[in-house]
Amino acid sequence: MLKRQIVAPFRLAANALILIEKMLVAVLNSILRLLGVKPLPMPSRSLPQLSVKPEDVLSEVSKPMVDTRLPTSDKLLKPTTDAGHTLYRYACAKTAEERSTMDLSALTSDQQDWLLMLSDADLDRLAKVGLDGCTRAMDGKRCGVGGLPKLDKKEPAETPEPTSPLAKRIQTFRAGPAFA
């Protein structure tokens, strides 16, 4: 009974598509015959036999959900230089002791200052948005977590000396008086 309820609508739709295909080929063949061209062969399609039984699908759906989140073990999460990975690992840490032992050397001083001013609630929300959201947050982009403090990226104090002649000319032009 259950098999009929699941399979019948799909079988009906597949048979309808096969019938429509045969009708289109028949119409096309009649047009080709009028023009004196060799007609197309008629397709002979049939529905394949089911290899998966509906009972198997229903038993898979009724199984309890398994927790697929990654554990926060240091054995699985290897150190990385990417700021997004560092933020994600930091956000996934459950206690302040765990967070205090984390290596934040992959972050700039501005990023470290920003990270340390986040609340536990902010870190929980960042852990929920995942690695991609944390990477976007470290880039100063919208990450799916509202209410985060703004990540201010300070410009370097010194501008490096230009090395090429073209760069020197551009710097001289920019430093000169503006033309009216």
Could you give the C-alpha distances from 180 to 170, 174, 175, 177, in angstroms and in order?
19, 14, 15, 9
Residue 41 banded pLDDT, cuts 50, 70, 90: confident
* Containing structural domain, residue 110: 83-138
Q: Ranked by mean pLDDT, which of 43-47, 80-84, 146-150 comes out on top?
A: 146-150
Q: Which pLDDT score, from 0 to 100, does residue 80 have?
A: 40
Tens digits of per-residue pLDDT, 11-29? Answer: 889 889 989 999 999 999 9
Cα 30 versus chain centre, distance? 50
Tens digits of per-residue pLDDT, 86-139? Answer: 888 899 988 888 888 888 888 888 888 888 888 888 889 888 888 888 888 887
* Amino acid letter, residue 75: K
Q: Clarify whether residues 51 and 92 are in a common domain.
A: no
Q: Does 175 map to a domain?
A: no
**3-state SS, residue 142:** coil
Q: Clarify whether residues 98 and 53 are in a common domain.
A: no
Q: Clarify whether residues 47 and 87 are in a common domain.
A: no
Is 161's pLDDT higher than 70?
yes
Asked if residue 110 lies in contact with residue 152, where contact means CB atoms within 8 angstroms, the answer is yes
How many structural domains does the chain have?
A: 2
What is the spatial distance between Cα 31 and Cα 42, in angstroms, rounded to a whole number? 14
Residues 73, 74, 76, 77, CA torsion sign: positive
Q: Which pLDDT score, from 0 to 100, does residue 39 have?
A: 83
The pTM of the full predicted model, rounded to 2 decimals, is: 0.42
